[in-house]
Structure 1
Amino acid sequence: MKAVNLAEKLAQISTHWDPHVVADYNENDIMVVKFQGEFPFHLHEDTDDFFMVLKGEMIMDLEGASHVVKTGEVFIVPKGVTHRPRAAQECEVLLIEPKGVPNTGDPATAAAKPRL
């Protein structure tokens, strides 16, 4: 057991859309990631998608709506809902996903989730 400093972990990341596992919690990966630009539209059939903006601002595009998510705010995308996060300027985000869930919803196009 030890504290995890998210700012220190994020300082080690120089890429965008590349989630890194920083902790485990009840069969979930706790990850940090930097967003800039647009991620592809995708969905997760079997799990909700958790986003917490740690620094900056992102926009979550859903079918027919867009939501601005600011520093300190959480946004949950329900399972089965097509969505796309995007950010005009770099933002830092905390993600929580069940272990093994591909970030694109498709194992063939998913990014690896290295551990920091």
Structure 2
Amino acid sequence: MSNAASPRQIAASLTELWSPRVVAELDDSYVKVAKVHGTLAWHSHDDEDELFFILAGRLRIEMESDTVELGEGEMFVVPKGVRHNPVAEQECLLMLIERKSTLHTGNVVTGKTRSLAEQLREV
């Protein structure tokens, strides 16, 4: 079975900001895409790393001890347990790779928090 997909095109088609959608499964991980703009929330994932890959635009990942600026084609892994806050000054398309157990906003619940069921909805 082979189904090719364009993560960038799928992310661009999303109408909700900060609402990741699962586009693939890889062993015990999900591959997700999202369209973001503004600030998500300070949060952490106690037991999971989180990979951010920028498909288009720019993303700043603020952490308590550092800040990382990412542009198109760049990636960064936020290590488990590190409090972070993703910020996009302009619209940004991104791909995330996370273990299936990773909660959207980790240990924090806000109005932007999406359940796994919401992330698994059809695109």
Alignment: residue pair count: 116
The residue aligned with 1:94 is: 95
Could you tell which deviates more after superposition, 27-36 or 97-106?
A: 97-106
The alpha carbon displacement at 1:8 in A equals: 2.9
The residue aligned with 2:15 is: 14
- For 2:37 and 2:8, locate their aligned partners in 1 and report how far apart those are by CA, in whole Å: 17
The alpha carbon displacement at 1:103 in A equals: 1.2
The residue aligned with 2:25 is: 24
The answer to whether 1:111 aligns with 2:117 is: no
The alpha carbon displacement at 1:107 in A equals: 7.7
- For 2:68 and 2:8, locate their aligned partners in 1 and report how far apart those are by CA, in whole Å: 25
The residue aligned with 2:40 is: 39
Give 5+ residue unaligned stretches, structure 1. Answer: none
The alpha carbon displacement at 1:108 in A equals: 5.2
List, as ranges, runs of 4+ consecutive aligned residues in structure 1 with deviation greater than 6 Å: none
- For 1:28 and 1:107, locate their aligned partners in 2 and report how far apart those are by CA, in whole Å: 21
Give the TM-score of the pair, scaled to structure 1.
Answer: 0.91
- For 2:30 and 2:74, locate their aligned partners in 1 and report how far apart those are by CA, in whole Å: 19
- For 2:61 and 2:98, locate their aligned partners in 1 and report how far apart those are by CA, in whole Å: 17
The alpha carbon displacement at 1:3 in A equals: 0.8
Could you tell which deviates more after superposition, 1-10 or 30-39?
A: 1-10
- For 1:8 and 1:72, locate their aligned partners in 2 and report how far apart those are by CA, in whole Å: 15
- For 2:69 and 2:8, locate their aligned partners in 1 and report how far apart those are by CA, in whole Å: 22
Give 5+ residue unaligned stretches, structure 2. Answer: none
Query: Is the CA contact (8 Å cut-off) linking 2:8 and 2:93 kept in structure 1?
Result: no
Give the TM-score of the pair, scaled to structure 2.
Answer: 0.86
Could you tell which deviates more after superposition, 100-109 or 27-36?
A: 100-109
When residues 90 and 108 of structure 1 are mapped into structure 2, their CA distance, relative to the original with a 3 A threshold, is closer
- For 1:83 and 1:8, locate their aligned partners in 2 and report how far apart those are by CA, in whole Å: 27
The residue aligned with 1:5 is: 6
- For 1:107 and 1:100, locate their aligned partners in 2 and report how far apart those are by CA, in whole Å: 15
The alpha carbon displacement at 1:114 in A equals: 2.6
